[in-house]
Structure 1
């Protein structure tokens, strides 16, 4: 199963991962333990409208430590939402920003920290700062840090990268600093109960995408392999179980462990652990507004199918882990997506076949294309992949 291991260094993030306890109780206890008096919360409009959802429970639990909230973060972390939230957090004197939501909220919150540290208060300054933060030492940063209460299976809370979108250009950008990763992550399955089922299940396919591309990556090693195979094994069982019994917290917790493993599989390699499926997903999201999870529902199976020419034997190990030995892995993934009754092909999200050329051009510009197991020489290769998604 393994291949020659490349030399490399893995930098693990200093995080506390808490599970088995209600999220709001953990947030309140951690804020008190760290003597944080100004707790600012980020979330979405839909969660803000709930009467007693995870957002409301966190606000109530922190009591007089509550400093304010910004609950207008849009899908794909638009940069103007990030700057507006950072300005609100700065005005509130935030010491910790608690992200309650999915990948867009959590990525936005990481970028909010960077705005606070750098004194960024306008979109123009933010857009030119994307390369700045890698080189900033932790000693130079402000005091602000983040906690995360994830409500989906996107796994953004386990990375130090903030993927943001410039709505004017339809381009996705990456901002990163190791201290941007949430210091405390609470895996509370009850926090996912208010998430629309389609959104939750598709975010689970996003986790399958993380694991599958990491496993097939040229930089895979025994650590990435173990995490990836365990992740797809758990997700292939947990996601259909969640669909069948949406109130069952056991399978939601198993999916949370699986998405944790999936992101570990892509972050403990020498490279990024991502390939063409992720790059296509970036273009689908940033340029066409397709939700994160739905992009993977559409892009992963076609990418596996196109790559099978060079790594079919390796892909077979994924199919075996998912319970279908001998079946082409792309078929196993597509059948899982169909069982969840989520988007499968481009037309399911309103994208016509005539858009393939433009979409391929966009996707080709994203860095994960360079790490695809089967080399991609031009947008024409990307178009071949996308033809399998029609």
Structure 2
């Protein structure tokens, strides 16, 4: 039986070692004649880019390269990418990397066709004007193929891009149905060089996506089911992927779990992301690491609203103590095994901006509106302070 899997949920996916070999044919079938390859500068000397460039060169497909993006890509990065897209007469895009490359490529795709698109399809405008996918205008965006080299953001299966508005130190969620990549290549070979610390942080990012989606108060049982299985895959594979980066089964399991998370969080995210977005914009810290640190503090803040559902999830995971406390202990133990810091102050963040963080978290309606329970700006400020100082209310050190 072949180790290469083909799925179409919610877009075309090729999954398994060697899936990269399908890229050129898919580009041809999608009418991609001169794609712009978008990646981050840290990828320039690494194996995944070398493998991808060799594959495209061997198949004779011309391409350009754009890598002038930050780890938290900004709207200015996107505008530079649009200039490169147009200067090279490109007709499509390939995104290689983590969430930064995916988000930048999506932003370039949108802004290359609609100069006002980053503003028109910002989340608050989407909520106000485009309540369903059918309400969005058809734009004919350039085709995008996504090849993740990390297993965390799930951006390859999402219709959103998260971009920093640098002048305000805030992150904006941009959404349009045509931002969903036309094809996704999940090849674990492209992730085997990811360092253990980034494997851990991105894996915890995927875990946070699944947990927040599962706890969202919105009714979406299909996404809830995906989230439950996604958490189990992470339980099964994350530690192995961190301890042995050449373990292809673990790498593939984490790629699948990460991609599944974008399907799960159609149900919504929550307070972890509401806090992580402004913190990432202000302090320029890795998004997955912020999520990993914040997760238990937000779980405790939501405990009254999620205890029943978390107990169901704990039973599915076959935890020895199948209730909220047992699940929280599992999260804390997993973080410790992965070397995730327990507090924000350990990564250089203090609580001097607590009021601003609380206000920004509440204003991040793409996440705060679907938190498990209603939290105020003051609530978010207090959760932030707890996370800075490593205080878990009700938990005995």
TM over 0.5, shorter chain = yes
CA shift in 2, pair 1:87/1:204, >3 Å: same
**Residues 96, 145 of structure 1: 8 Å contact kept:** yes
* Residue matched to 1:115: 111
Secondary structure of 2:168's partner?
coil
- How many Å separate the matches in 1 of 2:64 and 2:310? 48
1:43 and 2:39 correspond = yes
CA shift in 2, pair 1:309/1:188, >3 Å: same
> How much has 1:71 moved relative to structure 2?
1.3
1:315 and 2:310 correspond = yes
The partner residue of 1:148 within 146, 149, 169 is 146
- How many Å separate the matches in 1 of 2:48 and 2:354? 39
**Residues 18, 187 of structure 1: 8 Å contact kept:** yes
- How many Å separate the matches in 1 of 2:35 and 2:353? 45
- TM-score normalised to structure 2 length: 0.86
* Residue matched to 2:232: 233
**Residues 205, 296 of structure 1: 8 Å contact kept:** yes
* Residue matched to 2:51: 57
Equivalences for 1:92-171 in 2 at 5 Å?
Answer: 92-118=88-114, 120=115, 128-131=119-122, 137-138=137-138, 140-142=139-141, 144-153=142-151, 154-171=153-170
**Residues 212, 318 of structure 1: 8 Å contact kept:** no
> How much has 1:329 moved relative to structure 2?
2.8
1:259 and 2:258 correspond = yes
- How many Å separate the matches in 1 of 2:111 and 2:84? 11
- TM-score normalised to structure 1 length: 0.87
**When the two structures are aligned, how many residues end up with a matched partner?**
365
Q: 5+ unaligned residues in a row in structure 1: which ranges?
A: 1-11
> How much has 1:319 moved relative to structure 2?
2.9
Equivalences for 1:1-390 in 2 at 5 Å?
Answer: 15-50=11-46, 53-63=47-57, 64-118=60-114, 120=115, 128-131=119-122, 137-138=137-138, 140-142=139-141, 144-153=142-151, 154-267=153-266, 269=267, 273-324=268-319, 325-326=322-323, 327-367=325-365, 368-376=367-375, 378-389=376-387, 390=389
- How many Å separate the matches in 2 of 1:243 and 1:34? 35
- How many Å separate the matches in 2 of 1:28 and 1:127? 30
> How much has 1:21 moved relative to structure 2?
4.7
CA shift in 2, pair 1:318/1:345, >3 Å: farther
**Residues 147, 183 of structure 1: 8 Å contact kept:** yes
> How much has 1:137 moved relative to structure 2?
2.7
Q: 5+ unaligned residues in a row in structure 2: which ranges?
A: 1-7, 390-397
Secondary structure of 1:364's partner?
helix
**Residues 59, 66 of structure 1: 8 Å contact kept:** no
- How many Å separate the matches in 1 of 2:335 and 2:219? 25
* Residue matched to 1:7: none
Secondary structure of 2:302's partner?
helix
CA shift in 2, pair 1:91/1:217, >3 Å: same
Residue deviations 1:346-376 (CA, integer Å, cap 9, x gap): 1122112344333222222211222222211
> How much has 1:136 moved relative to structure 2?
5.1
> How much has 1:225 moved relative to structure 2?
2.3
Secondary structure of 1:72's partner?
coil
